[in-house]
Amino acid sequence: MRILNIFQRKKVKMEQDKFFRQLGLMSVRFFLIANLWLFFGALPLAYTQSAAGTAEQVKVQDILKFKIPANWGVVRDVYDAGTNKLIINIQDAHCDFTAQKNISHILDSLVKNYKLQLVALEGAAGKVSNPVLSGFPDQDIRKMAALHLMHTGKLTGAEYLAANSDYGLELYGAEDISLYLENLKAFQESRAFQQEAGQYFKVLNKALDLLKVHIYNQQLHDFDALKQKYNLKQISFSQYAQAIADLIQTNYLGKVNYPTFFELQRAIEMETKVDFKQADKERTNLITALTNAITNKKDIVALLDKSLEFKKGTLSPGTYAKFLKDLCFKIRLTLAPYPAFCVYADYICKYEAVANETLFKEIKKIEDDLKTKFYTLDSQKTLDDLYLYLSLLKKLVNMDMLSEDIDYFFAHRSEINTETFRKFISEQALEHNLSIKLPQQLSYIDVYLPVWAKFYELADQRDLALIENTLEKMDSTERNFSVLITGGFHTEKMIEFLKTKNISYLVITPRIKDNDSNPYFNLLEGGKTMLEEFVGNTLSP
């Protein structure tokens, strides 16, 4: 599930190259102190380990504070049940190379910081190991081979880390094998009609677009045009947000119904008061002042580390600005000479705090509520319902459904069929004197709907098995926390179950790269990579 980059955020990051030159000067003063700290002081938690290779067990409440660099992904959800049992669900983008690399980084950090020992995996049952790869003596060749296998989707990020480290990380397949194989069979059967279904969806979309011209009133047309401008990036997110804020006011929807959205509006208003160039200069001066004022070696190392993370893009502008302000407060360095930086810091912290999933859900609700205000005919609402049904069908066929999509689909299962589309389109075409012909074979979609639906029904059943098998493994090995790596589709049902069992959880979404070539579907269908085809042809008699 891709929840990263879900809206086009305005770029607010201030210029960093000039800042990094200053960081280099700051490092000269700190070099000896920092190195003495690293060689003779207490090492950071990431490197703390006893001679026996074990570390003191970390409490669940400490693990719940786990943070990751922005270029690895995002901690999406945290739930503290108040008990000492925890599952960290990492949402897997199957076979996405960038995601697998980031999963490997995340697991590596969990091992170093919290002595992670158990990783449960979707798509496998029982012990997971690769003795040929992990036992290969040449480390460089082993790493190259593992990278290739990860590129082609044959190795996960967890397996890559296990093969290229001496952590002794246990990988455990948490599937109910019979359910998984049945689900796999349903997937393979559902692929047969996928491309043809895509062509029929285009026909339906074109028909609805033609009707929209005649069915929508002016308010609906204007709002639809506004959304299209934003989707096509012809206007910024700030402009779109301001436009719908104005519509909320003129249509008396009430700010109280959308608290997160109006927190964002306050952040956007704060942006107009920020002098970014002056704030940049003042931040530079502030870092110089901190460099001269700090005497504690821990604070010195912290300033260096955070500054480097910010430069590399692994620390957000808001987090870094807050760190600098907190450090000033700690050492009692006044911020009075840096008013522009303070205004910037307040703005960027507010912006980052509200840019979350709750905001996007509220925006969707605002869009729906506005349309409800604009409707003057039943046919307008029905048309939008059909657009939604069509969107769900596309997701269903492309295996791109989220949990909320599945819930809606099954709740409206009796309405989502080709006859619903055919009836509405033919009636409205007649009323508006339009010629719209739909192919007779359109009904094939209905034939395959049960097959596509079965895939998700079985996937839903697997959710419980994945959690129960992971918990059983944790209990049998006396471990109080583990990682469970699954597709994002499984997350919502699993965390609901964990709440009923009073078990804490973290949900982490790794960053992906949109243009990565993803071989996942090819592998599930039994396809071979180019390397495998070459080897097969070379070795065949």
pLDDT digits (tens, 9 = 90+) for 421-442: 999 999 999 999 999 999 988 9
pTM: 0.68
Angle at 92 between CA 524 and CA 445, to 5 degrees: 50
Query: Strand 86-92 to strand 125-128: parallel, antiparallel, or no bridges (unpaired)?
Result: unpaired
Average pLDDT, the chain: 80
What is the model's pLDDT at position 411? 93
pLDDT at 541 over 80: no
pLDDT tens figures, 472-496 = 999 999 999 999 999 887 888 899 9
In degrees and rounded to multiples of 5, residue 92 shows phi and psi of -90, 130
Range 125-138 average pLDDT = 68
Which three-class secondary structure state does DSSP give residue 191?
A: coil
Residue 315 banded pLDDT, cuts 50, 70, 90: confident
Burial of residue 509 (number of CB atoms within 10 Å: 0-12, 13-18, 19+): buried
Q: How many residues make up the chain in this entry? A: 541
In terms of DSSP H, where are the helices of 152-193?
A: 157-163, 177-190
pLDDT tens figures, 259-314 = 999 998 898 889 889 999 999 999 999 999 999 999 988 998 999 988 887 887 66
pLDDT at 38 over 50: no
What is the model's pLDDT at position 29? 40
What is the model's pLDDT at position 197? 87
pLDDT at 12 over 80: no
What is the model's pLDDT at position 1? 36
pLDDT at 513 over 90: no
Which three-class secondary structure state does DSSP give residue 209?
A: helix
Range 503-507 average pLDDT = 94
pLDDT at 188 over 50: yes
Which two structure tokens, joined as six digits, stand for 332?
């009692």
What is the model's pLDDT at position 94? 67
Rounded to an integer, what distance in angstroms lies between the CA atom of residue 342 and that of residue 274? 9
Eight-class DSSP state of 315: S
pLDDT tens figures, 366-406 = 999 999 999 999 999 999 999 999 999 999 888 888 778 88
How many C-beta atoms surround the C-beta of residue 493 within 10 A?
Answer: 20
What is the model's pLDDT at position 237? 86
